[in-house]
């Protein structure tokens, strides 16, 4: 499978949040570079906006703007032992936020910094529901002596509502919606677990009873030392989770079966999106090596609603 990989862009500063646009260009955030970057079909690279803190997940909203989960910033390891990687909160960390960027002007607007008076710690990934709202994960924040826990949130694009929908999650990272829009998936990094939540209304979820620690249903847990990052969902409902340490994409059925694994040449494989006219090209961020790669995918991805 690695023989089918092509490099779309290299030299990126910890890329994440890939978004394929109908004109064939791609957006990526560069978390370490603190910017949103557009990569055009010919390879030309353009800085859309400089974004202070830690621009992380990204998605195009119904307003045509690019919405950004800003994790507030990381400290970085860049020595000889392993790839460039985040190792905790930035020294100037002041909290996370949800922002949106005008792709034409590069103007950045902050929409949410708190929920019910509590600061957002480290927003990470985002998906729109097609009804003027979006789900996003807050991974929390890690310091040398403590960890601030995160949650799954729901918010409205007009700034009128933000709600903590699920908590008791440990490092929630990726988020995605099932094709019918009735289930939201969340991946946890440190547990390498995938959870599902049945959606009952705007920001409200069916609560599974104890011993579920967060009200969700455990879909899959990977053995050994692996770490889950962000995700994309296929048109047929399979969930594709970027998998750290093992280095690749874990494809998981809604019933919990590991259907297949697609290896890539970087243990810091962080995110995936689908593009191309038939949505059968996977664009994957290799954050440790600073690359955005493309590879053919055996099935079409889900067309995101925006």
By residue range, what is the domain housing residue 184?
Answer: 2-296
Q: Is residue 114 part of a domain?
A: yes
For residue 46, what pLDDT is reported? 97
For residue 17, what pLDDT is reported? 97
* Signed CA dihedral, 174, 178, 181, 184: sign only: negative
All residues at 6 or more sequence positions from 45 whose CB lies less than 8 Å from its CB, including other chains: 9, 37, 38, 39
Residues of the chain with pLDDT under 50: 1
Q: Is residue 250 part of a domain?
A: yes
Q: What would the two tokens of residue 43 be?
A: 């390879």
Integer angstrom CA distances of residue 98 from 38, 61, 154, 237:
20, 12, 11, 27
Secondary structure tally for the chain: helices H, strands E: 0, 31
Assign residue 222 the CATH number of its domain.
2.120.10.30
Burial of 265 (0-12, 13-18, 19+ CB in 10 A): middle
* Signed CA dihedral, 277, 280, 285, 289: sign only: negative
Q: Is residue 97 part of a domain?
A: yes
Q: Is residue 302 part of a domain?
A: no
Q: Is residue 125 part of a domain?
A: yes
The reply to whether the predicted model has a pTM over 0.95 is yes
Query: Quick one: which of 13, 120, 22, 119 has its CA closest to 68?
Result: 120
Q: Is residue 213 part of a domain?
A: yes
Number of domains in the chain: 1
Q: Is residue 303 part of a domain?
A: no
For residue 305, what pLDDT is reported? 62
| Bond from prior residue into 297 cis (ω within 30 degrees of 0) | no
For residue 197, what pLDDT is reported? 98
Whether the CB-CB separation of 88 and 51 falls below 8 Å is answered with no
Q: Is residue 32 part of a domain?
A: yes
Q: For 129-206, where are the E strands, in sequence order?
A: 133-138, 141-142, 147-148, 151-156, 162-166, 172-177, 183-188, 193-201, 204-205
For residue 3, what pLDDT is reported? 63
């Amino acid at each position: 499978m690695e023989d089918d990989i092509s490099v779309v862009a290299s030299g990126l500063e910890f890329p994440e949040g890939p978004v394929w646009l109908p004109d064939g260009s791609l957006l990526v955030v560069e978390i370490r570079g603190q910017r949103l970057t557009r990569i055009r079909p010919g390879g030309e690279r353009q800085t859309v906006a400089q974004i202070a803190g830690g621009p992380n997940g990204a998605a195009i909203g119904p307003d045509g703007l690019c919405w950004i989960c800003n994790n507030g910033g990381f400290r970085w390891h860049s020595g000889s032992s392993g790839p460039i990687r985040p190792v905790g909160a930035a020294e100037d960390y002041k909290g996370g936020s949800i922002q949106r960027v005008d792709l034409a002007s590069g103007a950045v607007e902050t929409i949410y910094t708190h929920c019910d008076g509590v600061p957002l710690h480290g927003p990470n990934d985002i998906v729109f529901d097609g009804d003027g709202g979006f789900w996003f994960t807050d991974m929390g924040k890690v310091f040398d002596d403590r960890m601030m826990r995160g949650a799954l949130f729901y918010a409205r694009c007009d700034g009128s509502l933000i709600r903590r929908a699920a908590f008791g999650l440990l490092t929630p990272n990726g988020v995605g919606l099932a094709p019918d829009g009735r289930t939201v998936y969340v991946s946890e990094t440190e547990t390498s677990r995938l959870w599902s939540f049945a959606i009952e209304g705007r920001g409200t979820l069916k609560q599974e009873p104890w011993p579920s620690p967060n009200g969700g249903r455990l879909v899959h847990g990977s053995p050994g030392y692996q770490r889950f990052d962000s995700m994309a969902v296929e048109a047929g409902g399979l969930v594709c989770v970027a998998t750290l340490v093992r280095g690749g994409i874990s494809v998981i059925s809604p019933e919990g079966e590991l259907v297949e694994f697609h290896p890539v040449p970087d243990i810091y494989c962080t995110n995936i999106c689908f593009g191309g006219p038939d949505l059968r090209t996977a664009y994957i961020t290799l954050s440790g090596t600073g690359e955005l790669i493309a590879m053919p995918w055996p099935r079409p991805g889900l067309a995101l609603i925006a």
